[in-house]
Amino acid sequence: MDKKVTVIGAGNVGATTAQRLAEKELCDVVLIDIVEGFPQGKALDLTEAAPIEKHDAHLTGSNRYEASAGSDIIIITAGIPRKPGMSRDDLISTNAGIVKNVIQQVSKLSPKSILIIVSNPLDAMCHVAYEASGFPKNRVLGMAGVLDSARFRAFIAMELNVSVENTHAFVLGGHGDTMVPLPRYSTVAGIPITELLSKERIDALIDRTRKGGAEIVGLIKTGSAFYAPASAAVEMTESILKDKKKILPCAAYLEGEYGINDLFIGVPVKLGKNGIEEIIQISLTDDEKEALQKSADAVAELKALLNLN
């Protein structure tokens, strides 16, 4: 492979991300974790699956950040996962320290890389990464909207008994209870779901989308979601590595767009080889603007807890 992606954190999200990157033959993959032998074992296991899965991606596991040197993309999944009763925000202090330490080291080793943040609370951790790396804003982004939109799409497909491939959805705002699913921009084969579902059913799907992560945490009990988050991170990675210019909802640093300044908020962006190549501004109703501002206010509160500029 001529591309290299490092995944920091070899837990469920990180290992599944590494698996999907390799099986899509997008890049060679380095898996890094602080637990001795853990990333090495995961990488070896994935390598031994390669003859069956028919890919030639090279997988490496390491406890040393030096293995990440020269990466095109670095995906940060490190941190403690949510447990039942915990909000994403409860993780902020512990995970901020972890993410800051990781970013300070890997950004020096891969100064031209693009950072994709997966660690929670997502929007706040994007700020930590932005400050710690000193990278331009187009090369720091968060995986949030792709996951939230996928959940909304899945629930729409289940509700209408249609193929998920026919569903499209946009979820904006922070990655949490204040996220802003947009029914007007959510369609089935081009038909807005407002034409197919009652307001009551749409509201129920929106509520389930907002609580999608918590629902899984409540069911698993000993961990949090990882299959869908990994898929979301890989879709973003593929769009960047292949310069596909996909329009995807991601956490991006806003400087006046949507009337929001100096915050990472989920908005539609064009993802290509340079990372975020354009922030797409769509027209919003007054109610949608109010909901997005409420979400931005929640992110601003988390940012304030980090004592960042």
Give the domains, in start order, of the chain with CATH numbers.
4-142 (3.40.50.720), 145-305 (3.90.110.10)
Q: Could you give the CA distance from residue 114 to residue 290 in angstroms, rounded to a whole number?
A: 31
The torsion region of residue 37 among left (phi > 0), alpha (psi -120 to 50) and beta comes to left
pLDDT grade for 308, boundaries at 50, 70 and 90: low
pLDDT grade for 82, boundaries at 50, 70 and 90: low
Q: Supply the pLDDT for residue 164.
A: 98
Q: Contact at 8 Å (CB) between 216 and 120?
A: no
Tell whether the model's pLDDT for residue 87 goes beyond 80.
Answer: no
Q: Supply the pLDDT for residue 94.
A: 83
Q: Show the tokens assigned to 247.
A: 């329009």
Tell whether the model's pLDDT for residue 88 goes beyond 60.
Answer: no
pLDDT tens digits, one per residue of 279-303: 999 999 999 999 999 999 999 998 8
Q: What average pLDDT does range 47-72 have in this prediction?
A: 98
Q: Which of 150, 137, 168 is closest to 265 using CA atoms?
A: 137
Q: Supply the pLDDT for residue 306.
A: 83
Q: What average pLDDT does range 80-85 have in this prediction?
A: 68
Considering the candidates 55, 58, 127, 175, report the single residue annotated as catalytic. Answer: 175
| Beta strand segments in 46-170, E | 59-62, 73-76, 114-117, 140-142, 167-168
Residue 120, classed as helix, strand or coil, is: coil
pLDDT tens digits, one per residue of 96-129: 999 999 999 999 999 999 999 999 889 999 999 9
Q: Contact at 8 Å (CB) between 179 and 151?
A: no
Q: Is the dihedral of CA 125, 126, 130, 131 positive or negative?
A: negative
Tell whether the model's pLDDT for residue 93 goes beyond 60.
Answer: yes
pLDDT tens digits, one per residue of 152-208: 999 999 999 999 999 999 899 998 889 999 999 999 999 999 999 999 999 999 999
Q: Supply the pLDDT for residue 86.
A: 64
Q: Contact at 8 Å (CB) between 99 and 128?
A: yes
Residue 124, classed as helix, strand or coil, is: helix
Q: What average pLDDT does range 6-21 have in this prediction?
A: 97
Q: Show the tokens assigned to 96.
A: 């901020």
pLDDT grade for 305, boundaries at 50, 70 and 90: confident
Q: Contact at 8 Å (CB) between 68 and 30?
A: yes
Contacts with 270 (C-beta within 8 Å, 6 or more apart), sequence order: 245, 246, 247, 276, 277, 278, 280
Report the percentage of the chain scoring pLDDT > 70: 96
> Is 168 annotated in the active site?
no
Sheet holding 187-188, edge to edge: 167-168, 187-188, 191-192
Q: Could you give the CA distance from residue 143 to residue 270 in angstroms, rounded to a whole number?
A: 14
Q: Supply the pLDDT for residue 81.
A: 67
Q: What average pLDDT does range 136-145 have in this prediction?
A: 96
For the chain, the average pLDDT equals 94
Residue 84, classed as helix, strand or coil, is: coil
Measured CA to CA in angstroms, residue 118 lies from 82, 203, 227 at distances of 13, 27, 13
Q: Supply the pLDDT for residue 83.
A: 66
Prediction pTM value = 0.95
pLDDT tens digits, one per residue of 211-263: 999 999 999 988 889 999 999 999 999 999 999 999 999 999 999 999 999 99
Q: Show the tokens assigned to 277.
A: 């190549």
Q: Supply the pLDDT for residue 213.
A: 92
Measured CA to CA in angstroms, residue 3 lies from 85, 181, 188, 242 at distances of 40, 34, 35, 10
Residue 298, classed as helix, strand or coil, is: helix
Q: Show the tokens assigned to 11.
A: 């837990």
Q: Contact at 8 Å (CB) between 251 and 88?
A: no
Q: Could you give the CA distance from residue 238 to residue 286 in angstroms, rounded to a whole number?
A: 35
Q: Supply the pLDDT for residue 195.
A: 97
Query: In this structure, what are the phi and psi dihedrals at residue 294, rounded to the nearest 5 degrees?
Result: -60, -40
Q: Supply the pLDDT for residue 1.
A: 79
